């Protein structure tokens, strides 16, 4: 049973083209989060090998005026990437350094009131998780996906609202923990980077 988000197919246009509006950059950043932070699947490995992800992160870096992360350019080692993902977000001796749930930031426990509010807000915006999404509704990848969907339908205000109240706080809280625990790895580099991009996009 493959992961739900198949990862990213490449569109025809040039991956290197600079982003025009903030919305577009925010959309791209959220797509990276949606692809990378759920269980690594073949689609993600594809994007890394083909350099598509690296192109997006470089373009985002240019747009946000921050230094681009190195790791997306390196050839991905599937097992190391999966082991890193498990150790950072799933289960590890010594406790998971960065539980990938936006609800944790405010409720300090799982499935707390924030998840209820998020679910209600998504329902108001006409979105709800697919039945076969085997993760919690407030998983970082799920929220990023929701933001991207909203941007695609031109609802920039709702999207930036979701980022500001749910996505950015998660990166603020855990980016440093991921950087420390995955120094040099893909997550270790792109998480602090994405934090800067998201801050820039929601300024």
Partner 1 sequence: MARYGMAIDLSACVGCAACAVACKLENEVPPGVSRLWIRLEESGTFPELHMQYRPEQCLQCDEPPCVPVCPTGASHVTSDGVVLVDAETCIACGACIAACPYDARYFDPRGFVSKCTFCEHRLAGGRPPACVETCPTLCRTFGDLDDPDSDVSTAIRGARRVDVLKPEQGTHPKLVYLNAPASFAPRREGALR
Partner 2 sequence: MRLKRRAFLKLSAASVGAMMLAPEAGALKLPNPLARAPRAWYQGDVRTVLTYCENCFWKCGVRASVEGGRVWKVDGYAANPKSRGRLCPRGQGAVAQTYDPDRLKRPLIRLEGSERGEGKYREASWDEALGVVAAGMLAIKEKYGSESMAFFAHGSGDTWFGDYLPAAFATPNVGKPSVSLCTSPRETAAQWTFGRGIGGHEPVDWENTDYIVLIGHHIGEDTHNTQLQDFSMALKRGARLVVVDPRFSVAASKADRWLPIKPGTDTALLLAWLNVLVSEELYDRAYVEAYTTGFDALAAHVAPFTPEWASGITDLDAGVIRVVARELAAHAPRAVLPPGRHTVWYGNDTQRMRALYLVNALLGNYGVEGGFYLAQPPYIGAYPHPAFPLEPSSGGCSGASGDAAATIDTGFRPSVDRGTFFAKTTAVQELIPAMITGEPYRIAGLVAYGVNLFHSIPDVARTRQALKALDLYVAIDVLPMDHVMWADVILPEATYLERYDDLVAIAHKTPFIELRQPAVEPMWDTKPGWWIARELGLRLGLEEYFNWPDIESYLDTRLRSIGSSLEKARQQGTIVQGGRPYLADWEKRHLNPFGTPSGRIELASQTFADAGFDPLPVFEAPEEPPEGSYRLLYGRSPVHTFAKTQNNWVLMEMHGENSVWVNAAEARRLGLDSGDYVWLENQQGVRDGPVAVYATERLRPDCVYVVHGFGHRAPGMKIADGRGVSDTALMSRYRLDPISGGAGMHVTFVKLVPGAPKPRLPRLGKLAERSV
Q: Which residues in 109-128 contact partner 1 (CB under 8 A)?
A: 109, 113
**Sole window of 63-71, 112-120, 159-167, 192-200 interacting with partner 2 (rule: CB under 8 A):** 112-120
Q: Which does 71 bind (CB under 5 to 8 A by kind): partner 2, partner 1, none?
A: none
- Asked if 108 is part of the footprint of partner 1 (rule: CB under 8 A), the reply reads yes
If binding is defined by CB under 8 A, does position 83 make contact with partner 2?
yes
Among 140, 146, 190, 128, which residue's Cα sits nearest to residue 38?
140
Q: Output the smallest distance, CB 66 to partner 2, in A.
A: 18
What is the chain's alpha carbon radius of gyration, rounded to the nearest angstrom? 16
How far apart (Å, rounded) are the C-alpha atoms in residues 196 and 56?
15
Helix axes 22-36, 186-201, angle to 10 degrees: 150
Q: Which of 197, 150, 186, 183 lies closest to 72 in space, CA to CA?
A: 186
| 95 contacts partner 1 (rule: CB under 8 A) | no
- Binding partner of residue 149 among partner 1, partner 2, none, CB under 5 to 8 Å per kind? partner 2
Residue from 65, 79, 157, 203 touching partner 2 (CB under 8 A): that is: 79
C-alpha–C-alpha distance, residues 37 and 10, integer Å: 19
CB of 71 to partner 2, least distance (A): 17
Q: Does 85 bind partner 2 (CB under 8 A)?
A: yes
What count of other Cβ atoms lies within 10 Å of the Cβ of residue 79? 9
Give how many residues touch partner 1 by CB under 8 A.
3
Please pick, from the candidates 42, 49, 70, 128, the single residue that binds partner 2 as defined by CB under 8 A: 128
Cα separation values, 113 from 102, 167, 194, Å: 11, 16, 26
CA distance 59 to 25: 9
- State the binding partner of 127 from partner 2, partner 1, none, CB within 5 to 8 A by kind: partner 2
Binding footprint of partner 1 on the chain (CB under 8 A):
108-109, 113
């Amino acid at each position: 049973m493959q992961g739900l988000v198949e990862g990213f197919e490449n569109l025809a246009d040039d991956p290197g083209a600079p982003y025009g509006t903030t919305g577009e950059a925010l959309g791209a950043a959220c797509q990276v989060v949606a692809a990378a932070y759920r269980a690594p699947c073949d689609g993600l490995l594809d994007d890394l090998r083909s350099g598509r992800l690296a192109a997006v992160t470089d373009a985002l870096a240019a747009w946000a005026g921050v230094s681009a992360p190195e790791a997306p350019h390196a050839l991905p080692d599937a097992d190391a990437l999966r082991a890193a993902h498990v150790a950072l977000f799933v289960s590890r001796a010594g406790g998971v350094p960065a539980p990938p749930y936006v609800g944790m930031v405010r409720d300090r426990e799982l499935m707390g009131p924030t998840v209820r509010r998020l679910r209600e807000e998504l329902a108001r915006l006409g979105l709800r998780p697919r039945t076969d999404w085997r993760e919690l509704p407030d998983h970082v990848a799920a929220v990023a996906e929701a933001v991207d969907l909203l941007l695609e339908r031109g609802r920039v205000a709702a999207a930036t609202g979701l980022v500001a109240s749910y996505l950015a706080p998660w990166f603020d809280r855990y980016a440093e923990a991921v950087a420390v625990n995955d120094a040099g790895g893909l997550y270790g580099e792109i998480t602090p980077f994405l934090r800067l991009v998201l801050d820039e996009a929601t300024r």
